[in-house]
Amino acid sequence: MVAIGSDYEPRRHGRTTQRRSRILWLGVVILTLALRAGPARTESPTDSERPHPNLLFIIVDTLRKDHLGCYGYDRATSPTIDELARTGIRFEAAYSVAPWTLPASATLLSGLYPSSHTAIESDRILPLSVETLAERLEANGYHTGSFVSHIYMAKNYEMFQGVDKFRVRYGRSTRFVSTEKVVADALQYIGGISESQQPFFTLVHLFDPHYEYVRHQEFGFAPESAGRLSGEISIDDLEAKQESLTEEEIALARAIYDEEIAFTDAGIGRLLAGLDELGVGDDTVVVLAADHGEEFLDHGRLGHAHTLYDELLRVPLIFRLPGGEHGGQVISEPTSTIHVYPTILDLLGLEPSSAVQGQSWARRMRGDADQPSGSSDEAGGATVGEAENVSTEWASIPVAPLFGAAFAEVDSELMSAHLRALRRGDLKLILDLDTGRTMLFDLSTDPDEAHDLAGERPEVVVAMREELKAMVSLSRSREAEAGRASLTQEEYDLLKSLGYTN
Ligand SMILES: [Zn+2]
């Protein structure tokens, strides 16, 4: 097991001199911090001294929302995330736009649907023509740091656009544990700039809940063995036994997955405590999201990327505003992670510089219960709406509705998955483009998506397929010119071990 930790030079950057002096200064600050005993708070610029608040964006890979306490789970996997939800704004029904890392994360960082940002395949980059969150913030005077733990979040895929400082931690073995290292990297970085007059953006991507599921026995959720499984179990082993796995064996896999979540939650706890110790916790917008969930034979599959059921698409999403303002809210309507990017910019007092396909939830977060959904017809019909409350020239460009609906897609030759999904109110439609099969579920009576109603309610299927068509057209409306990733054989092998290629 060999760790790969890499610092990369950014592709597009014009502030080399400034960066060098910053690095020198960073060294001094780290030394100073190291010499201090205990978690003494440092003096930091106050809210009024910085032009915008800081941003800490935590993306947890492969995190099922229904395995977290704040979403009703009965195992103590998530005390930190639960507390963040208690003091922040929690989305009960946020849908990811895709069921695997690359397209879902690229949307969080660009505000574009996968069909438009085009990072939809293991060999596709996030095109340089797409403006990332880091680029937007860097252009507005932010320090920008990115500390990640997946090859998809790294240089190969151009996910570092606009980032001043970045570090990637992933292992050649999928049993590599990275949360502690990524959290330490991020805290070291924030420690170096916390006294700056410039605000910071720090992206922290945590990978450990992703398979392989590694035991963290200090949490004690998983028994030593169950049925034919004991000790360390691998996804390959699980998949080999997929047809005959017993409930007890699946429960063991889930329990180890839960230990990974608890381990990651503890890392997030150290990260948030570190922010407070540095005196910047109250001046920082904290966002926690997952790229997608995970399947444990809920619908006959393991892992992720191949279906669009809720165990993959419904993700945890929590915002904490500076000082915990407007905290304690739950936003329960269905909505989409397409809105994360424009909402973050809005909360920081900024706007996208070019068209994105989402809108901002900020008005609702600040207590405007009447913020419209942006949908042209609440009862059905076209789901595509117009952006409201924006001043730029793209104000009339079609955007996804803020509330009440969500669209997701997966298009991968390598993973043999071509699917579309639309959640509208309590109903959900899933269309398999390969087989032509359409499924319809009523989540109010069937939250597990076990009973397909397509045969019983053909008129609803017809109406929702029309809506889906409108969303497909929207998802392609800003299609960027696609670019190919260049991977070494070793990197390709790593992706293969993660199940992302055939
Ligand atoms: Zn992922």
Higher pLDDT, 121 or 219: 219
Predicted confidence (pLDDT) per residue in 136-150, tens digit: 999 999 999 999 988
Mean pLDDT of 250-263: 97
In a domain, residue 323? The reply is: yes
pLDDT at 485: 87
CB-based burial, 197-228: b 16+ in 10 Å, e otherwise: eebbbbbbbbbbbbbbbbbbeebebbeeebee
**CATH code (residue 248):** 3.40.720.10
pLDDT at 157: 85
Of the pLDDT bands very low, low, confident and very high (cuts 50, 70, 90), residue 467 is very high
Of the pLDDT bands very low, low, confident and very high (cuts 50, 70, 90), residue 152 is confident
pLDDT at 48: 52
Mean pLDDT of 343-362: 95
CA nearest to 210, candidates 71, 362, 100: 100
In a domain, residue 480? The reply is: yes
pLDDT at 244: 96
Mean pLDDT of 122-143: 93
pLDDT at 491: 82
Predicted confidence (pLDDT) per residue in 205-241, tens digit: 999 999 989 999 999 999 999 999 998 888 888 999 9
CA 393 / ligand 1 centre spacing (Å): 34
Of the pLDDT bands very low, low, confident and very high (cuts 50, 70, 90), residue 16 is very low
Strands (E), 248-396: 284-290, 295-296, 302-303, 314-320, 329-331, 335-336, 385-386
Residue 500 has pLDDT above 90, yes or no: no
Range of the domain at 45: 3-497
pLDDT at 464: 97
CA nearest to 280, candidates 190, 370, 359: 190
Please state which of the ranges 60-69, 148-157, 258-267 shows the lowest mean pLDDT.
148-157
CA 480 / ligand 1 centre spacing (Å): 22
pLDDT at 386: 54
In a domain, residue 328? The reply is: yes
Share above pLDDT 90 across residues of the chain, in percent, rounded to a whole number: 69
Structural domain count of the chain: 1
CA 211 / ligand 1 centre spacing (Å): 10
CA 99 / ligand 1 centre spacing (Å): 8
Residue 456 has pLDDT above 70, yes or no: yes
Q: At 146, which helix (H) or strand (E)?
A: strand 143-148
CA 210 / ligand 1 centre spacing (Å): 7
Predicted confidence (pLDDT) per residue in 53-110, tens digit: 999 999 999 999 999 999 999 999 999 999 999 999 999 999 999 999 999 999 999 9
pLDDT at 44: 56
pLDDT at 32: 39
CA nearest to 357, candidates 343, 371, 368: 343
In a domain, residue 502? The reply is: no
CA 114 / ligand 1 centre spacing (Å): 14
Share above pLDDT 70 across residues of the chain, in percent, rounded to a whole number: 84
Neighbours of 193 (CB within 10 A): 23
CA 31 / ligand 1 centre spacing (Å): 35
CA 63 / ligand 1 centre spacing (Å): 8
Mean pLDDT of 285-294: 98
Most confident stretch, 93-102, 350-359, 480-489: 93-102
Residue 42 has pLDDT above 50, yes or no: no
Mean pLDDT of 40-64: 78
Residue 498 has pLDDT above 80, yes or no: no
pLDDT at 248: 96
CA 106 / ligand 1 centre spacing (Å): 11
Q: State the sign of the Cα–Cα–Cα–Cα dihedral 229, 235, 240, 241.
A: positive
pLDDT at 384: 61
Place of tokens 């290629």: 501
In a domain, residue 185? The reply is: yes
pLDDT at 378: 38
Mean pLDDT of 401-416: 94
CA triple 401-90-380, angle to 5 deg: 25
Residue 483 has pLDDT above 70, yes or no: yes
In a domain, residue 204? The reply is: yes
CA 208 / ligand 1 centre spacing (Å): 10
Of the pLDDT bands very low, low, confident and very high (cuts 50, 70, 90), residue 25 is very low
CA 22 / ligand 1 centre spacing (Å): 32
CA 61 / ligand 1 centre spacing (Å): 4
**CA–CA separation, 339 vs 449, rounded Å?**
25
Confidence (pTM): 0.88
CA 394 / ligand 1 centre spacing (Å): 31
**CA–CA separation, 323 vs 399, rounded Å?**
31
